[in-house]
Amino acid sequence: MGEPVTVVQSATANPSRVRFETNRSFTGMGHERYKDGDEILLNRPPDVIARQLLATGQVSEVHVYAQTITVTLKAGKNADGLKPIIESLYTYYKPGVRVPTEADFA
């Protein structure tokens, strides 16, 4: 029924960037980068994360590498509400969320 993602949020040397360390790898050893305005066509875990974070209107860029997600915030925006988006990524028992079937992953 889904398993919560554990997330630790931390600041970086650049105040417009926030790092999220998770308990699972989303990309293996690959780097994935997304910018606001990019069309994200696939539904791999890093694509889903980026799509949801960019949809908040708070984020201009998302970088996903293994279990680390780094976001660049838009000017004047903060990271409020971003951590719960990542934490609930694989939680399918929330009201209104359809549980995926094997056909969804084919």
Q: Map out the domains of the chain as residue ranges.
A: 7-91
Q: Dump pLDDT digits (tens) for 62-74.
A: 999 999 999 999 9
Q: Dump pLDDT digits (tens) for 30-62.
A: 999 999 999 999 999 999 999 999 999 999 999
Q: Quick one: which of 55, 84, 64, 61 has its CA closest to 74? A: 61
pLDDT score recorded for residue 64: 98
Tokens 């970088």: give the residue: 63
Q: What is the pTM of this model?
A: 0.84
Query: In the predicted model, what is the mean pLDDT of the chain?
Result: 90
Task: Give the CA radius of gyration of the chain.
Answer: 14
CATH of 7-91, one of 3.40.50.300, 3.40.605.10, 3.90.190.20, 3.30.1370.70: 3.30.1370.70
- For residue 18, the tally of other CB atoms under 10 A from its CB is 21
